[in-house]
Amino acid sequence: MHQLSNAELIQQHRHKNTEGRTNQWFIRQARQELLSREEQLRRDPDELERVTAALFEDQPGDDSRLERIQTLRGLSPLSQEQIERLLHQTATDQGEHVSPRDSALRVIAIQELVARSPLDTILGSRPVSDVAPEIKAIDRLIQLAHAETGGAELLALASALQRLPVNRRVEIAQGISRHDEYADDHNLPLMVWYGLMPVASVNPHSLAEFAVQCPFPTTRRLIARRQAEMIDSQPAAIDSLLSLAASMDASPTRDGLVSDILRGMEDAFTGRHKLAAPTHWTKFSEVAASSRDVSIHDAIRNLNLLFGDGRALDEVRQTIRDHNAPMAQRKAALATLISLKPADLRAICEEALSVRSLNTIAITGLAGIDDPQLAQRLARSYRTFYPVERAALIDVLASRPNFSEALLHEIRDRKIPRTDLTPLHARQIRSFENAALTKLLTDVWGEFRDSPQDKVELIQRLKQQLTPDVLAAADTGQGRLLFIKTCAGCHRLYGHGESIGPDLTGAGRNNLDYLLLNMVDPSATVGAEYRLSIIVLKDGRVLNGIVSTRNDQTLTLQTAKERTVLELKDIEEVKTPDKSLMPDGQLQTLTTDQIRDLVGYLMHPVQVPLPSQLPD
């Protein structure tokens, strides 16, 4: 190919095989050679112009336009004239089928219309001065948004939104959203939202107007969520949306919109305790209450609680105390009450401590109360919890110094098994930096050997123990059980487990050195996404976990057990030690045989059956 002229390389794009079909191998080779000559062509503008023109022009019976345009884009952006010709030549009458190749060409044309404009940054849209596509190009995009029917073309238009001035984006989104047949598409509603995100802060009313006519549920919900998130800084944003929705005539369309707005508001207010109701909330909730959808009524009740509706609060209290109500309903009601923190929360939660299953929710409401007498009562209530729910009580007892002291006294007196206190809990208690409490922990639970020298010695000792012969004798079925108990709460292996920590399926598990280093010293190499954060709350609790998301009002903390949303105003301090969420000392709680079985399972190249699944 390198011996061919530019004109001959262009002609290779039309190469046919013996069956008369386009030969893609010749096209790829010709494209590669032409692109390798780009620098040479740029030194000869006349030749570059001839090459780009020849690549664009068709010949009679020529069906290689797509391949030639792809090569042309590698050499030079399409001109405005070429883009218009491409759109005109691939256009069809409305309703007529567009071939896949013509569809691909139209996508290229749409992309080229905005190719010279930068995308939004992760922090938002670029300054207007940086985003200046020709006005004619924007007008053309608006025309296309109303005229296109193909999914690929509409997706290209939605993708282009992030390159346009913010004040023109809604016009194009309106055209795209006319196609309600894509309402449940996996990508299009999301791409429309990504392009509209900056509009929320610049012109929230226009975004609200768009939302009430948009047929895409996902887009509507995300708009409502964003408008609601701004309730503190721009309360008119959510008010505008509520007012427009409430003024619509009754119809299934309105019910769908109302449901999406309510879901968006609930998402936005997750973790918030008390808010002033938006001005138009009463009118909107009355309209929404006319729906027969139970989920809409549940959402209205939850938001009314958040907005301080006394009647709704009384209903929740009654549900909690109703012994005839389903336990799931009582637990949900108590969880709702805890999120609102009313004045009588302690009394209600202490009352619920005597009810099994309900007590697991009640302790989360009592966790925020720093009272030594309450600490003793909680620690002594250990046996009143179902065995599978006792770990939740230990989590709460390890969350503040007074509670931890009561917990350790119960372990010392053998009222609570020592094995129920995991290395995670031990590290949490040590993070209080209370010398007396740390000494009590050491006396009751054991010494936390986590100095660098301790870790080196443990790794060397384990390497000497875990010889190939020893590992060959490992009971990998028991090792899998140990993995489920010890590791699966954070790690996935062969598709099973949680995704809080790294997926171990593709890790270097067959290397014993790699495995032991990460098990004994998990903080030796820790990625930023798995770095521990210590959250000190104003009520005295200390929580350990990974900060997964954060906005202007809340912070989401992923602990080893659950995802917790905290209001920023409740946080005293956030510490970020260079530590992994996985604590040191995990192996110190296992016997020699258990370590052998666990390591043998982790190093095994394929999944093994559980002991109960083995043939007799």
Kindly state the helix (H) or strand (E) to which residue 538 belongs, with its residue range.
Answer: none
pLDDT means per 10 residues in the chain (616 residues)?
88 81 87 92 91 86 85 89 83 64 90 84 58 68 83 93 91 93 94 95 95 97 97 94 94 93 95 89 94 90 88 89 92 90 92 92 93 94 91 92 95 91 85 91 79 82 91 92 88 88 79 85 75 89 89 88 88 87 81 93 89 60
Q: 539: number of CA atoms within 13 Å, CB side? A: 18
DSSP code for 532: -
Q: What is the 3 state secondary structure string of 85-135? A: HHHHHCCCCCCCCCCHHHHHHHHHHHHHHCCCCCCCECCECCCHHHCCCCH
Which pair of structure tokens corresponds to residue 250?
Answer: 């009754």
Residue 93 CB-density burial (10 A; 0-12 exposed, 13-18 middle, 19+ buried) = exposed
What pLDDT is attached to residue 611? 85
77 DSSP assignment: P
Query: What gap in Å lies between CA 109 and CA 90, rounded to an integer?
Result: 10
The reported pLDDT for the residue numbered 451 is 66
Cα torsion 453, 457, 462, 464 to 10°: value is: 150
Give the CATH number of domain 475-532+577-613; options: 3.40.50.720, 2.120.10.30, 2.60.40.420, 1.20.1090.10: 2.60.40.420
Closest to 6 in 3D by CA, of 21, 36, 81 = 36
- What string of DSSP letters covers 329-354? HHHHHHHHHHHH--TTHHHHHHHHTT
Torsion angle, alpha carbons of 14, 15, 20, 22, to 10: -70
Are 565 and 558 spatial neighbours (Cβ–Cβ below 8 Å)? no
CB atoms within 10 A of CB 405: 22
pLDDT at 616: 46
List helix spans (H) across 341-451: 345-352, 358-366, 372-380, 390-397, 401-412, 423-430, 435-444
Q: What is the DSSP string of 466-499?
A: S-HHHHHT--HHHHHHHHHHHTTTT-EETTEE-S
Residue labelled with tokens 């029917």: 149
pTM comes to 0.71
Start-end of CATH 2.60.40.420 domains in the chain: 475-532+577-613
Q: State the pLDDT at residue 132.
A: 54
**In a 3-state reduction of DSSP, which class is residue 614?**
coil
In sequence order, the 6+-apart residues with CB closer than 8 A to the CB of 179 are: 149, 154
Q: What is the pLDDT of residue 131?
A: 47
Radius of gyration of the CA atoms of the chain, in A: 32
